Amino acid sequence: MPPTDERSNRSDPSSDPSSPPGAERSTFASVRRLYPYVRPAMPRLVGGLLASLGASLMALAIPRVLQWVTDGPLTTGAEDHDWTGLAWSVVLVALLGVGEAGLILLRRTLVMFPGTRVEAVMRMALFKHLQDLPIAFHDRWPGGQLLSRIMGDLGLLRRWLVFGILQLVVSFVTIVVGVGLLVVTGGWLGIIFLCGAIPVTILAFRFSRKYRKISRLSQDQSGDLATTVEESVHGIRVLKAFGRGPDALDSFTDQASELRETEIRKATTDAGLTTALRVIPEVTQAVALVAGVYLVAQGDMTLGALVAFFATTAVINGPVVDLGMTLSMTLNARTAVDRFFEVIETVNPLTDPSRSADLPPATGETGGHVAFRNVTFRYDDAERPVLDQVDLELPPGTTTALVGLTGSGKSTLAMLPPRLFDVTAGVVEVDGVDVRDMTRAQVRERVAVAFEDPTLFSASVRDNVLLGVPDGLPEAEREALMTQALEVAQAQFVLDLPDGVGTRIGEEGLSLSGGQRQRLALARAIAARPRVLVLDDPLSALDVTTEEAVTARLRDVLGATTSLIIAHRPSTVALADRVAVLQGGRITAVGTHHDLLATDPHYRYIISSLEQDYEAHDGENHAEQGESQHGQSQQTESQEALS
Ligand SMILES: Nc1ncnc2c1ncn2[C@@H]1O[C@H](COP(=O)(O)OP(=O)(O)OP(=O)(O)O)[C@@H](O)[C@H]1O
């Protein structure tokens, strides 16, 4: 069942250490941070804004023409035959209408492209930053939260940039100018209308405070829901195998219902303001109508002025009602901005030094020299260190197996030379240089890794295997590296795929078996020709014969490479030049397999546990194989790959 309990906490941004709550900032201060991304698009956005303002002013000018025509040509025209004045007023109203429509079209044309550009630039910046952020960040952040930020939030921001912000400014200006005109030209009637602004302002303020929280909750819950979908799709085999589909559905339904409730609260809050924004101007208009008729009857106001007054209120009413919609759009955009900056402003503690370290060439005849000196490592959220003053040397060109009980910290140690994590104290050196003094590119050139859980990308076999090989190498050399790596990793089965190494393998290589994926991931690490190869149990899914073949070829071909192998099989351990024992966060013994068997009781205990595990596991495998072979014709590996 997908883990949902932790996720519900994420609805509260303050529960996330990497999510500084944006609530401390004003909406303006929050949105202002977009400026560097929006700056290149500013000329067009300002152009769009001016076009919108022009359109609104034209709309506001129409009532003035109406006032003039009502008090002038329309009143006196029949007697004095002022048909010319009437005709001009009609032409003027028509021109103003056409001008308004033209300016609205111009606004759309101006803002459409910069909006999509800003969205694309922000999306790329966020993706680049996500690639740069360390594993520790990705361990903490659920994928769905990142997905919803990079997709949903940025789409929402684009819509706000091309429509919401302009509409908000234009509505505001139209209302201010319109009410100003009403007060100046309508006297008391204008003041009555202005009184309506007081409850509108109070309501808008209250709305903003309430809506902001609901908007944040809704966007976070969308992220949680995306995480659930992602995990369920990713873990579909486990869910199916354990018959947990209905539980996953229940959990999804609960989350979807929570989101729905939040959306309803959001819509209700929005509807409350929109209703108030409709009712208040109508009420003030009704009061103004009574007062206006009285003033006209008393001769204190002309009929034209009354007509102009109500024509102006008609122009203002639209923006007043829109204010609710544009305000909610702005608050949603503010949430999107906060969520974007929570990620993009997360500082990467694993930075490159200001200049590259002086190092021998990355490839050559000798392997790299790796040294762990007094290394202590503690995970951010852990109370105690996993590694405590570890000292270990990996001489060039040797293969060292790292063994220890489950949870002793083997994988953690393996992540330090490739600098997937930085030490808490002490130093990890490659070729005599602290890995923190190397640029990440220098580290990647020297150290390659293959993990037990092999991630393959939706790309061809060739692209997957050559992932760590520099693009600049001649094509023939790249091909040779790939061929050799496939051979060493016993992964020639790919040659039987429909397009050979050009075959596109499915999302994360799901169409391949576990062992096939592991061999491709191993081939990828080998093809990079590293001086140091870190193998975190990358052969666990292989049968013992293939494992032996792979290990033997690894020895032949990568004799010059320094290897650190985390092993869970006695056979792998026995093949290493030396073995290091990790116990209680420290390296307690280093020696050959046979020496340690003779001298180290903890090592004997580990090996006997590994043997028991292996025999149990092997027994299961045989049973499975027996079942699967029963009544089935033997399939070739390439057929398996396609199944
Ligand atoms: N990202 C993490 N955050 C916090 N603690 C972690 C993290 N990863 C691992 N740990 C903890 O660190 C300890 C060592 O884990 P590690 O995976 O290095 O052990 P291991 O020896 O490789 O285990 P195994 O043989 O089972 O693979 C464990 O107690 C584990 O719970």
Where residue 292 sits, what CATH number does that domain have?
Answer: 1.20.1560.10
pLDDT per residue as tens digits for the range 511-562: 788 888 888 888 988 888 888 989 888 777 777 778 778 877 877 766 678 8
Backbone angles phi, psi at 128, to 5 degrees: -60, -45
Is the pLDDT score of 420 beyond 70? yes
Is residue 379 within 6 Å of ligand 1 at its C-beta? yes
Q: For residues 439 and 391, state if they share a domain.
A: yes
* Percentage above 70 pLDDT, the chain: 87
Kindly give the number of the ligand 1 atom that is closest to the alpha carbon of 139: 1
Q: For residues 334 and 388, state if they share a domain.
A: no
Whole-number Å distance, alpha carbon 387 to ligand 1 midpoint, is: 10
Q: For residues 133 and 98, state if they share a domain.
A: yes
Where residue 400 sits, what CATH number does that domain have?
Answer: 3.40.50.300
Helix (H) and strand (E) counts in the chain:
25, 10
- Whether residue 3 is contained in a domain is answered as no
Whole-number Å distance, alpha carbon 413 to ligand 1 midpoint, is: 10
pLDDT per residue as tens digits for the range 204-256: 889 998 999 999 999 999 999 998 988 888 788 778 777 888 888 888 999 99
Question: In this structure, which residue's CA is closest to atom 26 in ligand 1?
Answer: 406
Q: What is the DSSP string of 264-323?
A: HHHHHHHHHHHHHHHHHHHHHHHHHHHHHHHHHHHTSS-HHHHHHHHHHHHHHHHHHHHH
Q: For residues 539 and 405, state if they share a domain.
A: yes
pLDDT per residue as tens digits for the range 573-586: 877 889 999 998 99
Question: In this structure, which residue's CA is closest to atom 25 in ligand 1?
Answer: 406
Kindly give the number of the ligand 1 atom that is closest to the alpha carbon of 413: 18
Q: For residues 326 and 433, state if they share a domain.
A: no
From 387, 406, 410, 420, mutation site for ligand 1 pocket: most ligand atoms within 8 A of C-beta: 410
- Whether residue 27 is contained in a domain is answered as no
Is residue 416 within 6 Å of ligand 1 at its C-beta? no
pLDDT per residue as tens digits for the range 119-137: 999 999 999 999 889 888 8
Q: Rounded distance, CA 305 to CA 268, Å? A: 39
From 140, 376, 411, mutation site for ligand 1 pocket: most ligand atoms within 8 A of C-beta: 411
Is residue 515 within 6 Å of ligand 1 at its C-beta? no
- Whether residue 298 is contained in a domain is answered as yes
Which of helix, strand or coil describes residue 544? helix
Whole-number Å distance, alpha carbon 404 to ligand 1 midpoint, is: 12
pLDDT per residue as tens digits for the range 461-491: 898 899 888 888 888 889 898 998 998 888 8
Is residue 408 within 6 Å of ligand 1 at its C-beta? yes
- Whether residue 405 is contained in a domain is answered as yes
Q: Point out the domain boundary residue: 303, 326, 344.
A: 344
Mean pLDDT, range 48-56, rounded to an integer: 89
Is residue 8 within 6 Å of ligand 1 at its C-beta? no
Kindly give the number of the ligand 1 atom that is closest to the alpha carbon of 415: 18
Q: For residues 308 and 431, state if they share a domain.
A: no
Whole-number Å distance, alpha carbon 407 to ligand 1 midpoint, is: 5
Q: For residues 425 and 336, state if they share a domain.
A: no
Is residue 382 within 6 Å of ligand 1 at its C-beta? yes
Question: In this structure, which residue's CA is closest to atom 7 in ligand 1?
Answer: 379
Among 195, 191, 187, 192, CA closest to 305: 187
pLDDT per residue as tens digits for the range 323-335: 888 999 999 999 9
Kindly give the number of the ligand 1 atom that is closest to the alpha carbon of 536: 22
| Number of domains observed in the structure of the chain | 2
- Whether residue 7 is contained in a domain is answered as no
Is residue 404 within 6 Å of ligand 1 at its C-beta? yes
Is residue 383 within 6 Å of ligand 1 at its C-beta? no
pLDDT at residue 389, rounded to an integer = 92
Q: Rounded distance, CA 628 to CA 633, Å? A: 10
pLDDT at residue 37, rounded to an integer = 93
Question: In this structure, which residue's CA is closest to atom 2 in ligand 1?
Answer: 379
Q: Which of 41-55, 85-99, 551-565 has the lowest mean pLDDT?
A: 551-565
- Whether residue 6 is contained in a domain is answered as no
Q: For residues 222 and 296, state if they share a domain.
A: yes
Q: For residues 418 and 331, state if they share a domain.
A: no
Is 536 in contact with 449 (CB distance < 8 Å)?
yes
Residue 625: band (very low, low, confident or very high) from pLDDT cuts 50, 70, 90: very low
Mean per-residue pLDDT over the chain, rounded: 82
Containing structural domain, residue 73 = 34-344
From 379, 381, 405, 535, mutation site for ligand 1 pocket: most ligand atoms within 8 A of C-beta: 379
pLDDT at residue 341, rounded to an integer = 94
Question: In this structure, which residue's CA is closest to atom 29 in ligand 1?
Answer: 407
pLDDT at residue 510, rounded to an integer = 56
Is the pLDDT score of 396 beyond 70? yes
Among 438, 433, 439, 420, CA closest to 370: 433
Is the pLDDT score of 74 beyond 80? no
Residue 589: band (very low, low, confident or very high) from pLDDT cuts 50, 70, 90: very high
Among 239, 250, 320, 243, CA closest to 279: 320
Is 505 in contact with 511 (CB distance < 8 Å)?
yes
Q: For residues 376 and 306, state if they share a domain.
A: no
Pick the residue with more confidence: 18 or 613? 613
Is the pLDDT score of 624 beyond 60? no
Is residue 411 within 6 Å of ligand 1 at its C-beta? yes
Whole-number Å distance, alpha carbon 411 to ligand 1 midpoint, is: 7
- Supply the ipTM of this predicted assembly: 0.96
Whole-number Å distance, alpha carbon 298 to ligand 1 midpoint, is: 88
Residue 340: band (very low, low, confident or very high) from pLDDT cuts 50, 70, 90: very high
Mean pLDDT, range 414-435, rounded to an integer: 92
Kindly give the number of the ligand 1 atom that is closest to the alpha carbon of 582: 21
pLDDT per residue as tens digits for the range 163-205: 888 888 888 888 888 888 888 877 888 888 888 888 888 998 8
Q: Rounded distance, CA 127 to CA 146, Å? A: 9
Mean pLDDT, range 288-299, rounded to an integer: 88
Residue 630: band (very low, low, confident or very high) from pLDDT cuts 50, 70, 90: very low
pLDDT at residue 121, rounded to an integer = 94
pLDDT at residue 183, rounded to an integer = 85
Q: What is the DSSP string of 168-234?
A: HHHHHHHHHHHHHHHHHHHTHHHHHHHHTHHHHHHHHHHHHHHHHHHHHHHHHHHHHHHHHHHHHHH
Q: For residues 286 and 389, state if they share a domain.
A: no
Amino acid in position 494: V
Question: In this structure, which residue's CA is closest to atom 23 in ligand 1?
Answer: 407
Is residue 634 within 6 Å of ligand 1 at its C-beta? no
Q: Rounded distance, CA 524 to CA 448, Å? A: 9
For residue 321, give Cα distances in angstroms to 150, 184, 327.
31, 23, 10
Number of other residues whose CB lies within 10 A of the CB of residue 545:
9
Is residue 384 within 6 Å of ligand 1 at its C-beta? no
pLDDT at residue 616, rounded to an integer = 60
Pick the residue with more confidence: 510 or 272? 272
Residue 509: band (very low, low, confident or very high) from pLDDT cuts 50, 70, 90: low
Q: Point out the domain boundary residue: 344, 378, 411.
A: 344
Pick the residue with more confidence: 404 or 355? 404
Beta bridge partners of 555: none
Highest mean pLDDT among 309-318, 386-395, 604-613: 386-395
- Whether residue 11 is contained in a domain is answered as no
Q: For residues 45 and 176, state if they share a domain.
A: yes
Kindly give the number of the ligand 1 atom that is closest to the alpha carbon of 566: 22
Q: Point out the domain boundary residue: 344, 361, 384.
A: 344
pLDDT at residue 108, rounded to an integer = 85
- Whether residue 10 is contained in a domain is answered as no
pLDDT at residue 6, rounded to an integer = 38
For residue 395, give Cα distances in angstroms to 121, 422, 553.
46, 22, 20
Residue 488 token pair: 């060493």
Q: What is the DSSP letter of 460?
A: B
From 408, 413, 416, 451, mutation site for ligand 1 pocket: most ligand atoms within 8 A of C-beta: 408
Is residue 139 within 6 Å of ligand 1 at its C-beta? yes
